[in-house]
Structure 1
Amino acid sequence: MSTTAYEFDTHSIDGQPVALKQYAGKVLLVVNTASACGFTPQLGGLQQLHEKYQDRGLVVVGFPCNQFGSQDPGSNAEIGQFCERNYGVTFPMMAKVDVNGAKADPLFKWLTAEAPGLLGTKAIKWNFTKFLVGKDGRVVKRYAPQEPPESLSRDIEAALAA
């Protein structure tokens, strides 16, 4: 059983292998994203957090997901182009994943077990659920989709200072 986020491997949006251990010692904000969701404008807020805190050790990591209302049906290339063109996204975007169910990405299985949602539910309810991971690779907090990225600043600053 994994004990930190840094033990997981994934793939970038362009298909390259990514070992999360490369981010060891940094604070991660892991988000399941979608291109055609009412919360999609949060990509702009996530980019602002990335720009504001990257020099201090924050890495925003986006994981596109098409499990909620089929709101990210495009290919990884289309999703990457959309995020860059419409929101100026420069933070790492990973390949599209499932976050719930039998085919859920192992990182998201671990994140939801470490930080259950409201009333202890482990399933992710919608796009733009966010997980703040501390420098030690452990989950600090889970945020609901409607929580705007800018409201996370205080928690991010505390995690960066820890």
Structure 2
Amino acid sequence: MSSPSPYHGGVWRIRVELPDAYPYKSPSIGFINKIYHPNVDEMSGSVCLDVINQTWSPMFDLVNVFEVFLPQLLLYPNPSDPLNGEAAALMMRDRAAYDQRVKEYCEKYAKPEDAGAAPEEKSSDEELSEDEYASSDEAMVGEADP
């Protein structure tokens, strides 16, 4: 039996942007919290588009992204087409050290509570407070003038 993926147990928030030509063009996918992976840009979290495009089909929908594509990406990283060259080199040179680094990242950045409290939360708060300002402005105007 194969050992579980070093990503096992990690929880990530994913952002998905759909191009105008979707579903004929693949969505752009990014990890919001950090992940150590040859095909994911460590700074931006973007997933290498070639990797998506190779497996993408217009028959897919977003369920496939989460149930097929992302699990495949985590189980079978492709170090020959890297966005994170360091991760790719380490994976090819020393798989045990690579697995260890992945696990460290999971423990540091991909605990369930990290995914729940990702930066995204902030943007929805901002939207909320803008709405509150918009609706309370009218009420304020009348009260603010003595």
Provide the TM-score with structure 1 as the length reference.
0.24
Q: Higher strand share goes to which structure?
A: 1
Q: Higher helix share goes to which structure?
A: 2
Provide the TM-score with structure 2 as the length reference.
0.25
